[in-house]
Chain A
Amino acid sequence: MHEFLAQLANGVELGAIYALIALGYTLVYGILELINFAHGDVYTFGSFTALVVLVALRAANVLHGAGLILGIVAALVVAILACALLNAGIERLAYRRLRKAPRLAPLITAIGVSFMLENLIELWQGSAPVPFPNVIPNPELEIGALQIGVQQIVVVALAVVTMIALHYFVQRSRLGKAMRAVAQDRDAAALVGIDVDRTIAVTFLIAGALAGVAGFVGGVSFGSAWFLNGFGAGLRAFTAAVLGGIGNIAGAMLGGFLIGLLESFSTWFIGGQWSNVAVFSVLILVLVFRPSGLLGESLPEKV
């Protein structure tokens, strides 16, 4: 029981990170039908910007109490802004001019952008993994039979708050409504006076911001940042998005948590070397038997 709960908590923590990244894939797919393969590397960029800020503030050694919390918030905010701007910049430079091109063209461009980002990050931070400062002290709390770290609570709470905020933004705000309209029918949205370019740019900003949050919590959770982190994490998050139904926001969240749990429990039951096999078998099975994903029924609204 003890171990089951611990694995459950670990799976949820991992899943929260995957869900945040998966949301970025799904938002962009919903509005452009483009699988933005560079998204995983935006996540890596988020980890490194947060790391750089924390190191500059010497958050792990010097700061305490309120100062430490401010430092963590600063790192998070910088990571969010940097990733949002990076993602929007990618859209402006690489994808916008290909919007009317055959669909393969932006896809290949996305792969190219991904390689470019990986190599730029390597140039910036080197090819060795960089330790992420230990900013969140990790005493264990006992809640009944569940042992849980403060760090896990922070990671999951941050992710959940972000997702709730996203939900309200998309459902309630004017921009969110515009996003849904553009996703449904770009031409009709333009006809009723929605600025399509601006709406798409906002979508990329938001997807990037989510990758920034994911980069921060991923760094905290794994304890290191590496220039190729985004590749593996991005593939798993993409699997999560497909599992939930790509283009569907609730689906990406559900898929993320399911993939996190699957990784955790497959390590427990069949061994660490098989966790990748378990995760990507799911991708294949979903693509074969339910290509629209768990929640991805031909819904009227895609965002």
Chain B
Amino acid sequence: MRSPRIAALAALLLLAAPFAGCSSGPAPASTTIGIGVDLPLSGADASVGTSTLDGIKLAVARANAQGVPGGFTFAVQALDDTQQGVHNPQQGASNVRTLIADDSVLAIIGPYNSNVAAAEIPITNQAGIVQISPSAVSDGLTLGAGAAMLRRANPTVNTFFRVCTTDSRQGSAAARFALDLKLKRVYIVDDNETYGLDLANVFARDFAKLGGTVLGRDHIAPDTQDFKALLLKIKGYKPDFIFFGGTTSTGGGLLRRQMFDVGMGKVAFMGGDGIPDIAEVAKKRADGTYYTVAAPNADLLPAAKQFVAAYKAKFGSDVGPYSANAYAAAEVAISAIEQAIVANGKKMPTRAQVLAKIPRSAKNEVLTPIGPISFDKNGDVRKPVISLYAIRNGHSAFIEQLNLSE
């Protein structure tokens, strides 16, 4: 009984061998170019992750409709970096390895979160593949010793770019916005993650520098459910507002919600671009929340009107906080790939050829719904803009924006 089965299995393996070889060699006949995507697509970050992915899908659909040089078509290959309901750096790293292993993938868009990016950059840097994040804003991803550590496999090559701005730009803008709103006394809380802690640090420094009063700071432990003890402590300081460095899923939503349970419902709440979806957890209690987003308001940009209309037509929903950024990131990647195809005689380009076509100066800027984009040597955008929003009656309302052009 046993030996014929083994023989059959061996035969099957032999048959499969040539096919197995195919996937690791150059795929000559393929006319599909993969745009790899890594985002949190389920769990607590699902709504922002999905609307971000939709931005990428829209850009890819547009490029395919317009026709790609050499007769190629783009295909979105999206992976989810959520584990146990929260974005997870290890899952992100594993997703990026999966995408890199597929030779048809010439660029990766994502991730959404800074701590996931910190786990992925060393891998994309080693592989030499272009990676563009729509939203990872932590300073250390592109600047200083932190970025040097991330690029240690290939120190002379930078493969990581972002179309958003940095924590330090966002934190100082938030400090200015708060003082504009006549909020002078702050208590700062953060979630101890890469993004949240950086943002809170910069905000604390700049808010004090501009004349605001920092009453105190606290960090919260992961998985905390009860914030009332912390809020009761904060209440004793009588702050004008609480600044939160973190995301809705790491505690921002429950913190805002429980402020009402300890009689702090009228105290303002402010955060960065981690909490635009706060109304989903805090419901009506989200009113009185302010947040900054490291992008211009897409509704106000003339170039963005088209994007907003196309997005609503295709997905039947409002543009998410990072949909436009994701669209822009995909457009930059697509533009670089198309130029590389042309330069390579309309044949499939290599990842290095794509990297060489990433826009580096005002001359070859890519026009996107969030403005013309080109990157400095660190991989940051050259003309950053920060917008302030408030939540009123459960909906986000644009208030003002700051242009931080150098």
Indicate if the CB atoms of B226 and A263 lie closer than 8 Å.
yes
Indicate whether A224 sits within 8 Å of B221 (C-beta atoms), given known contacts A122-B85, A128-B85, A263-B226: no
The residue in chain A whose Cβ has the minimal distance to the Cβ of B283 is A131
The residue in chain A whose Cβ has the minimal distance to the Cβ of B232 is A6
Indicate if the CB atoms of B232 and A131 lie closer than 8 Å.
no
Indicate whether A129 sits within 8 Å of B281 (C-beta atoms), given known contacts A222-B254, A268-B233, A272-B229: yes
Residues from chain B with a CB closer than 8 A to the CB of A3 are 232-233, 235-236
Determine, out of A25-33, A200-208, A226-234, the stretch whose residues face the partner at the interface.
Answer: A226-234
Q: How far is the CA of A13 from the CA of B230 in the complex (A)?
A: 14
Indicate whether A2 sits within 8 Å of B218 (C-beta atoms), given known contacts A224-B254, A224-B281: no
Indicate whether A10 sits within 8 Å of B43 (C-beta atoms), given known contacts A224-B281, A233-B225, A273-B220: no
Contact partner of B261 (CB less than 8 A), chosen from A7, A151, A267, A268, is A151
Check if A11 is an interface residue, CB within 8 A of chain B. yes
What distance in Å separates the Cβ of B295 from its nearest Cβ neighbour in chain A?
24
Check if B52 is an interface residue, CB within 8 A of chain A. no
Indicate if the CB atoms of A129 and B261 lie closer than 8 Å.
no
Residues from chain B with a CB closer than 8 A to the CB of A131 are 257, 280-283
Check if B3 is an interface residue, CB within 8 A of chain A. no
Indicate if the CB atoms of B232 and A228 lie closer than 8 Å.
no
Check if A275 is an interface residue, CB within 8 A of chain B. yes
Indicate if the CB atoms of B85 and A227 lie closer than 8 Å.
yes
Indicate if the CB atoms of A272 and B224 lie closer than 8 Å.
yes
Check if A149 is an interface residue, CB within 8 A of chain B. yes
What distance in Å separates the Cβ of B334 from its nearest Cβ neighbour in chain A?
31
Check if B212 is an interface residue, CB within 8 A of chain A. no
Q: How far is the CA of A181 from the CA of B233 in the complex (A)?
A: 47
Q: How far is the CA of A112 from the CA of B263 in the complex (A)?
A: 42
Query: Chain B 229-266, CB within 8 Å of chain A: the 1/0 string?
Result: 11011011000000000000100011001101111000
What distance in Å separates the Cβ of B256 from its nearest Cβ neighbour in chain A?
10
What distance in Å separates the Cβ of B98 from its nearest Cβ neighbour in chain A?
21
Q: How far is the CA of A228 from the CA of B85 in the complex (A)?
A: 9
Indicate if the CB atoms of B229 and A264 lie closer than 8 Å.
yes
Indicate whether A222 sits within 8 Å of B42 (C-beta atoms), given known contacts A129-B253, A271-B219: no
The residue in chain A whose Cβ has the minimal distance to the Cβ of B191 is A273
Query: Chain A 3-37, CB within 8 Å of chain B: the 1/0 string?
Result: 10011001101100000000000000000000000
Check if B82 is an interface residue, CB within 8 A of chain A. yes
Q: How far is the CA of A273 from the CA of B227 in the complex (A)?
A: 11
Contact partner of B44 (CB less than 8 A), chosen from A128, A151, A221, is A128
Residues from chain A with a CB closer than 8 A to the CB of B84 are 127, 228
Residues from chain B with a CB closer than 8 A to the CB of A109 are none
Contact partner of B219 (CB less than 8 A), chosen from A14, A264, A272, is A272
Residues from chain A with a CB closer than 8 A to the CB of B43 are 126-128
Check if A89 is an interface residue, CB within 8 A of chain B. no
Tell me the count of chain A residues lying within 8 A, CB to CB, of chain B.
43
Indicate if the CB atoms of A140 and B263 lie closer than 8 Å.
yes
Indicate if the CB atoms of A273 and B218 lie closer than 8 Å.
yes
Check if A171 is an interface residue, CB within 8 A of chain B. no
Q: How far is the CA of A51 from the CA of B266 in the complex (A)?
A: 27
Residues from chain B with a CB closer than 8 A to the CB of A271 are 218-219
Check if A276 is an interface residue, CB within 8 A of chain B. yes
Residues from chain B with a CB closer than 8 A to the CB of A140 are 263
Q: How far is the CA of A264 from the CA of B230 in the complex (A)?
A: 8
Indicate if the CB atoms of B85 and A272 lie closer than 8 Å.
no
Check if B180 is an interface residue, CB within 8 A of chain A. no
Q: How far is the CA of A67 from the CA of B353 in the complex (A)?
A: 68
Check if B228 is an interface residue, CB within 8 A of chain A. yes
Decide if the interface of chain B is mainly helix, strand, loop or mixed.
helix
Check if B192 is an interface residue, CB within 8 A of chain A. yes
What distance in Å separates the Cβ of B265 from its nearest Cβ neighbour in chain A?
9
Query: Chain A 100-128, CB within 8 Å of chain B: the 1/0 string?
Result: 00000000000000000000001000111
Query: Chain B 78-89, CB within 8 Å of chain A: the 1/0 string?
Result: 000010110000
Residues from chain B with a CB closer than 8 A to the CB of A2 are 236
Check if A173 is an interface residue, CB within 8 A of chain B. no
Q: How far is the CA of A3 from the CA of B226 in the complex (A)?
A: 17
Residues from chain A with a CB closer than 8 A to the CB of B42 are 126-128
Residues from chain B with a CB closer than 8 A to the CB of A281 are none
Indicate whether A11 sits within 8 Å of B220 (C-beta atoms), given known contacts A2-B236, A138-B260: no
Indicate if the CB atoms of A7 and B260 lie closer than 8 Å.
no
Check if B46 is an interface residue, CB within 8 A of chain A. yes
Check if B406 is an interface residue, CB within 8 A of chain A. no
Indicate if the CB atoms of B263 and A14 lie closer than 8 Å.
no
Query: Chain A 209-235, CB within 8 Å of chain B: the 1/0 string?
Result: 000000000100111101111011100
Residues from chain B with a CB closer than 8 A to the CB of A275 are 221, 224, 229
The residue in chain A whose Cβ has the minimal distance to the Cβ of B248 is A129
What distance in Å separates the Cβ of B155 from its nearest Cβ neighbour in chain A?
34
Contacting residues of chain A (271-287) with chain B, CB-CB under 8 angstroms: 271-276
Contact partner of B229 (CB less than 8 A), chosen from A7, A127, A229, is A7
The residue in chain B whose Cβ has the minimal distance to the Cβ of A151 is B261
What distance in Å separates the Cβ of A47 from its nearest Cβ neighbour in chain B?
10
Between B46, B82, B85, B218, the greatest number of chain A beta carbons within 10 A of the residue's beta carbon is seen for: B85
Indicate if the CB atoms of A147 and B283 lie closer than 8 Å.
no
What distance in Å separates the Cβ of B81 from its nearest Cβ neighbour in chain A?
13
Indicate if the CB atoms of B85 and A127 lie closer than 8 Å.
yes
Indicate whether A223 sits within 8 Å of B261 (C-beta atoms), given known contacts A273-B219, A273-B220, A273-B221: yes
Question: Which B residues contact A (CB, under 8 angstroms)?
Answer: 42-44, 46, 82, 84-85, 189, 192, 218-221, 223-230, 232-233, 235-236, 249, 253-254, 257-258, 260-263, 280-283
Question: Which A residues contact B (CB, under 8 angstroms)?
Answer: 2-3, 6-7, 10-11, 13-14, 122, 126-129, 131, 134, 138, 140, 147, 149, 151, 218, 221-224, 226-229, 231-233, 263-265, 267-268, 271-276
Which 4 interchain pairs have the tightest Cβ spacing?
Answer: A127-B85, A267-B229, A127-B43, A273-B219
CB-defined A-B contacts under 8 Å, sample of 27: A3-B236, A7-B229, A7-B232, A10-B226, A13-B228, A126-B43, A129-B249, A131-B282, A131-B283, A140-B263, A149-B263, A218-B225, A221-B226, A222-B226, A223-B258, A223-B261, A224-B253, A227-B85, A228-B84, A228-B223, A263-B226, A263-B229, A264-B228, A265-B229, A267-B229, A272-B189, A273-B221
Q: List 7 other contacts, CB 8 Å, given A129-B281, A149-B263.
A: A3-B233, A6-B262, A10-B262, A224-B257, A264-B228, A273-B218, A275-B229
